[in-house]
Structure 1
Amino acid sequence: MSEDAGDLTRWQADLRDRSIHHWRDDVAYSTATPDDWRNRPALLRALEMLGRHARADRSITSWLNLPRLLHSMEVTATPLPCLAIADKALRLTPRDSEAIVARFLRQIAGAAATGLQRLDAMEEHRLRAAAVAGNILRPGKLLPLLALLQLRPVTSPRVVAQQLELSISGAGKLLARAADVGLLVEISGRQAWRTYLVTDLAVAFGFARRPVGRPVEPPKVSEALDPSLSRFDAEMAELDAMLARLGVVSDVGDDTRDEQT
């Protein structure tokens, strides 16, 4: 993997680019296709081009380009970063190519299912955050914090202090408050400074244990929550606009290595 943090930022910017690129544009490998090309499933066509790219360029570029390739070949409606999947076997031309393709298809299916789980978890977190905010008389900066967590699920007091114009101490107390109501998990470990992660990702990455027993049902949206949800969505839109004005990319936890304080 590249050690240049700018590579990740450029890749994320490329995924957000909604301009249409034909999959044959600017490629350094053969795009000649057989006569029955149009009769093949679109996903298999994409994997064929992925294999050619991987054999022509042995860096990670082909894997990172897969979301754009799938989108340009109309396999997906939008570039999906969760589908940036690597399999070194595609760089070879083995006899048992069917087994490699079948394995890769299973990987894609698994990554897509995980992506859907992440989306469900984000919506559940949003509903729980709105329910928590609706039960607090004076939420203060809690609402903008909860909006920020939708964009940055990994955060720290320094990041929150910068984004929400708080002191480091105030940001730390705010994060501890969110952790107390189950919206965050502290994952600092032995590090000197505190770092927090939203609960579902903390469980997924082994920083917290999955709750035993029946999953807690997410709060149902009621008329009483409508004002809170509206305020929450407005806070998110306002925060996104503020970040854009400052030239800050609203990516998901992309620079936490140097944000931990």
Structure 2
Amino acid sequence: MTEPVEGPDGVRLQKVLANAGVASRRVAEQLIVEGRVRVNGKVVTELGSRIDPENDLVDVDGTAVQLDQSKRYVLLNKPRGVVSSMKDERGRPDLRQFTKEWPERLYNVGRLDADTSGLLVLTNDGELAHVLAHPSFGVTKVYIAKVEGRVTPQTIARLTKGVDLEDGPIAADKARLLSSSKAEGASLVELTLHSGRNRIVRRMMAEVGHPVVELVRRQFGPLHLGTLPVGRARELTKVERGALLTLARRDSGAVDPSSRQAADESPEDQETR
């Protein structure tokens, strides 16, 4: 839990940094003196400075620091056949099976459809979950799609130039052909997108004549799936937490606070339903 404020003026900044695991108190003092620490966007160089850990935002060298230790951030490699919900009304396999080792009630940040596997973030930080899943934020996602047929360089160029779908034009931020097998009659394509439109990868590939056979999300913002096996979950590292919080804080003002809702109730994303 976040340490209680000591006295009417808050907690000493170097103590907050040490408690957050940034560095020892002595090293934290050096970071402050060197002007590498900001509180609410302003550089703080006075060692006597005190802050409110529950409300103030701190970053070191431009990377956000997690002060609230009650917040949990988990990376899951979601298997196919699992719906992105903490409780499915139709009794299908859901995300609860992957959260049993954590006492907190976790929610998913956005969604992947049941037939899509890969990186999904689970957290009890509702503010972060809503900001990162909000369409206006446009978090970059990287997918690997196994598709029918042999994809040509011309098709890759078309994906980045843009295709017209029923809900409007869309272009991949990046697209590249990873492999193409004549014998198998299939190709592997990597797509980078920031769109949050429904089933966007599947619809784009169908539009260019290469329906998706399998789809995996490998990256979400600064987070990478790496070697995490399918069906396994792990907590984010300190570096990953810092990168994710930095991303969330960067544009959190773009989201209307009145529209916030629980992450697993959010209608937005990604490769949904």
TM range (shorter): under 0.3
TM-score with structure 2 length normalisation?
A: 0.24
Q: When you count helix as a share of all residues, which structure comes out higher? A: 1
Higher relative contact order (CA 8 A, sep 6+): 2
TM-score with structure 1 length normalisation?
A: 0.24
